[in-house]
Structure 1
């Protein structure tokens, strides 16, 4: 796991960054040194297998991969050279699950466009709270690609930091905001399972799950718990990434509690079992940089040799079998930060 090189972008009206345990920090807080490696579970067979999605998984890497560096979004179609999609006034760009829309945060709120970055442009004026490094989105798409999950800022302190927020869905078509149930409020980085039935979110550096109607709220075992007996590996998740189809697995940035200062803002590069709280192994020899769930719970893994070398994209089926891989074309990175932002078939 590498320490991130922070290319900070400050957006008007969005000033809050949060530490792993919910405490507010200045947006000028610097990243700490790389933490110790996290030991993953050696026996994935001991975990509960996810439910099989009713749709076929992605089987090729012929689609378009998207990357963002905090200032611009780039698309890579197959092995063609990278193409700049959006301008420098945008950040936290992500691609919708159906591969048809781009969302990003701007000076005015949330902006939605087609994949070219301009068509169908719609701006929804809303104050969005974010946490950690600003290149990492803290909103996420709903399963139907019609809305995004955000933390709306309702009240600010004198210094501009968010004092009160409400988690909810923001609909693209008309900007309607619908608050999530009270039982799941107060979290961070809300994600939705691919079947649209589960919410997965952070409470500090632990993870909770619930049905979308707010019922059956459950804390994931081990992760983020202070007890050594309950969390013998002493792990916590400081940034929660995408979730699989049935909400039983997720990606995330994982650290040990023994680290003196957990840096925020790294790309999710670990695969988590939300039933057991274990970190699952990923069958690649190189250092994993990013992990992304695709249609049908196919898993896209970005990795490169430790220290340096070209990145490789590897596609795995839902059962963990390797399907294909290819070398990633060079992508401009003026800030030293290139994050995986999505994939469109």
Structure 2
């Protein structure tokens, strides 16, 4: 996704620009996926045409993630069992590999054939092939947490656990640090940092993260599923988004578009942006969903 038309300033400081005049005939329709806190973990819910349905319940709902084409759903059970199902949670396939439950996904590879995980036995990060369960360790230089593959399959991005983000080619060479994030010097006066890479665009030039500032709480090791900012990995700076109010969530879609959730909880608005940052459509989110966490959207 290339948002070259947007200035690289804090997303929370975006001007309250009107979106009405630039909205096209594109509609925000399809299936939305939400998470709801539950006494035994979470509920992973689908919402379509006014109907809310439970897809997954309990621990396995915590880090559920769709494949790039939206046809498969991967998740981990409380016992560390890796499983893949249809989007509605049916036709479950159990993979033999037991995986680490915190900090390692599961995150899909660009081709949708593998999952980036870590073996539970030694926390070694690698890719397990969904077809046969074969596990291939990642190069030593890519042994971070919250590891993601770019949409073109050429690079990995990961967190170093101190608020910094790094990237490298899939063979482990050309290791680079994203500027600003996590640094303790004058290049980072706002103390910006990110521990969770929620998504990345095709070439890794844009990532969505839970952006932490100043004395805000850092959170824990567990993989976060909520991003509130888009970061330019060449500059390390967040990108302003053309929406009204505070941005609470950002979804980077597989087609390069961006779905932004903004405004007060009492009246949240969903805004669909093109790959270049143009407002395509907006709609008010039903009030019945205001206490849920938006996790994914399949047009």
State the TM bucket, normalised to the shorter chain: 0.7 to 0.9
Pair 1:244 & 2:206 matched: no
Other-structure match for 1:206: 164
Other-structure match for 2:185: 227
Other-structure match for 2:56: 86
- Secondary structure in 2 matching 1:71: strand
2-side partners of 1:83 and 1:101: how far apart? Answer: 17
1-side partners of 2:133 and 2:31: how far apart? Answer: 28
Structure 1 moving runs of 4+ over 4 Å: 38-43, 330-333
TM-score (norm 1): 0.71
1-side partners of 2:164 and 2:208: how far apart? Answer: 13
Other-structure match for 1:175: 133
Other-structure match for 2:218: 262
* Structure 1 gap ranges (5+): 1-37, 44-58, 132-136, 156-164
Q: 1:119 aligns with which of 76, 91, 104?
A: 91
Other-structure match for 1:343: 297
Question: Does structure 2 retain, via aligned residues, the 8 Å contact 1:273–1:279?
Answer: yes
Once the 2 structures are TM-superposed, how far is the Cα of residue 275 of structure 1 from its aligned partner?
Answer: 0.4
Other-structure match for 1:272: 231
Other-structure match for 1:139: 106
Residue pairs, 1:1-345, within 5 angstroms: 39-40=10-11, 60-69=27-36, 70-77=41-48, 79-88=49-58, 90-91=60-61, 92-108=63-79, 109-131=81-103, 138-155=105-122, 165-185=123-143, 187-204=144-161, 205-228=163-186, 230-256=187-213, 258-259=214-215, 261-264=217-220, 265=224, 267-305=226-264, 308-329=265-286, 338-345=292-299
Question: Does structure 1 retain, via aligned residues, the 8 Å contact 2:11–2:241?
Answer: no
Once the 2 structures are TM-superposed, how far is the Cα of residue 295 of structure 1 from its aligned partner?
Answer: 3.0
Structure 1 residues 90 and 227: CA distance shift in structure 2, 3 A: same
TM-score (norm 2): 0.82
Question: Does structure 2 retain, via aligned residues, the 8 Å contact 1:66–1:95?
Answer: no
* Structure 2 gap ranges (5+): 1-8, 15-25
Once the 2 structures are TM-superposed, how far is the Cα of residue 145 of structure 1 from its aligned partner?
Answer: 1.5
1-side partners of 2:276 and 2:121: how far apart? Answer: 43
Moved more, 68-77 or 268-277: 68-77
Other-structure match for 2:21: none
2-side partners of 1:148 and 1:340: how far apart? Answer: 22
2-side partners of 1:68 and 1:145: how far apart? Answer: 23
